[in-house]
Amino acid sequence: MSCFGRYQQHYHEEDKNENKMRMRNKYRKPTTLRCNAGTRCSFPVVVWSLVGCLLMLHLYSLVHHKDGDGGDIQFRKAHHQPLFRELAEVEEENFQIPPPKGKRSPRAAKRRPKRPTTLIEEFLDESSQLRPVFFPDMKTAIDPMKEGENESLYYYPARIWLDTDGNPIQAHGGGIMYDDKSRKYYWYGEYKDGPTYHIHKKAAARVDIIGVGCYSSKDLWTWKNEGIVLTAEETDETHDLHKSNVLERPKVIYNRNTDKYVMWMHIDDANYTKASVGVAVSKSPTGPFNYLHSKRPHGFDSRDMTIFKDDNGIAYLIYSSEDNSELHIGPLSRDYLYVTRAMRRILVGQHREAPALFKYEGTYYMVTSGCTGWAPNEAMAHAAESILGPWETLGNPCIGGNKVLRHTTFFSQSTFVVPLPGFPGSFIFMADRWNPANLRDSRYVWLPLTVGGAADQPLDYNFGFPLWSRVSIYWHKRWRLPYRLSELKL
């Protein structure tokens, strides 16, 4: 055979072999990626390599960000490490659902099989045998005026909390302002010391407006009643503050430009159709506050709301809107009495309410609740590099207790977050445990909140992890501050 013939035979044999390989691989799923000429890379290896790189970058950015705070903060964190460990201890909680009251006949059981009762249903049932667990009676009340030294400064979530006069504190849905002039904390909230009723069968439980209660403290534990600083209107039915209307979630901030204290609140009618914000002003943190006006901010309905004052003095209004399907946020005017035209929609379509904002190391954080009326639901933490967004969801911040507690925000709803001076990254998470059967008996759930560690939920749009830290709220049956704040030079 000639050289050309041998070459041609060899060529046909290679062609046949190549065709066989093509047919053999025709129905095989590709499992490798061609990276460079003459090499192949496993697809899982590429993916995990990218994930590893992202995690390394994330951890590096966190460490680099922490180191930039200076040695003073690092020293304080190390100095108070036992406290951080104590606050971060996970406590478990077990609830046993009691058997149904009375025995049912076998015939009745066959006719209507009973669905197992859930803990949320037990919580909402005012005749439940678990009622004392969710709402402990007066025998266990926190009384700072009678507590011994060993019990001082201890918070007991959901217990009745007494003021210095021995009366239950009435400051629901509230917020706390620290006043540099008087060097005191002021706690403002809904004064609900009235009967609970429904205006019609399908209406939500309500209490007539009495006003906004104010309490002062130097240690965030002993509270003096400063009275009702914004009172209801008894006779004028057209007034926003007429007792038949709704006043919720009052928050107060100080304006240096006008030397006045400004209160914002949710104003509504009995059917929740007004959906507005109201503004009041005072020369003193203890009032009396002069009510100015109400308005739908930016022309949109507004229900659960809060205000946030940034480090540069600019204040912002954050409120649930579009039937609670999204949140709106925008800066206030220089005197804090009006909203400006600027507004951003955030958390669109997520149906969140009860916003509580705070800031740490240049990052903005927010805790929100779902929209289930008086029934408790799962909290979510969010973060943003700019207060106007975009905001990203970090996940459920609740840790400890049990699965039901974590998915009900410990049977409470967020209202405010208070920073602890001298403890970077540590805060007090303020929430309300609503009692829809008797709103005046709603309780306060204060728990330690910390910021630190990598976020545990990836971003939806690129499956990467955010550069900001995780928000953690720890369940404790009882916990305390390590010192009296009144002894610190704030």
Are 473 and 449 spatial neighbours (Cβ–Cβ below 8 Å)?
Answer: yes
- Cα–Cα distance for residue pair 451/470, rounded to 1 Å: 6
pLDDT tens readout for residues 194-235: 999 998 888 889 999 999 999 999 999 999 999 999 999 999
Strands 326-331 vs 344-346: parallel, antiparallel or unpaired: antiparallel
Give me the pLDDT at residue 66, please: 38
- Taking residue 238's Cβ as centre, other Cβ atoms within 10 Å add up to 6
Give me the pLDDT at residue 451, please: 92
Are 277 and 267 spatial neighbours (Cβ–Cβ below 8 Å)?
Answer: yes
Give yes or no for a cis peptide into 288 (omega within 30° of 0). yes
Global pTM value: 0.81
Are 394 and 373 spatial neighbours (Cβ–Cβ below 8 Å)?
Answer: no
Tokens of 57: 């970058």
Q: What would the DSSP string read from start to end of 95-136?
A: -PPPPPSSPPPHHHHHHSPPPPPPHHHHHH-TT-TTHHHHS-
CA-based end-to-end distance of the chain: 102
- Cα–Cα distance for residue pair 233/122, rounded to 1 Å: 37
pLDDT tens readout for residues 320-379: 999 999 999 999 999 999 999 999 999 999 999 999 999 999 999 999 999 999 999 999
As a whole number of Å, the CA-based R_g of the chain is 29
pLDDT tens readout for residues 47-84: 566 656 655 555 544 444 433 333 333 323 433 455 55
Q: What letter would DSSP give residue 162?
A: B
Instruction: Single out the residue of 302, 473, 314 nearest to residue 386, CA to CA.
Output: 314
Q: What is the mean pLDDT of residues 83-89?
A: 64
Q: Is the pLDDT of residue 109 over 60?
A: no
pLDDT band at 44; cut points 50, 70, 90: low
Q: How confident is the prediction for the chain on average, in pLDDT? A: 82
- Cα–Cα distance for residue pair 477/93, rounded to 1 Å: 9
pLDDT tens readout for residues 424-481: 888 999 999 999 999 999 999 999 999 987 666 666 555 566 677 889 999 999 998 8
pLDDT tens readout for residues 275-316: 999 999 999 999 999 999 999 999 999 999 999 999 999 999
- Cα–Cα distance for residue pair 280/261, rounded to 1 Å: 8
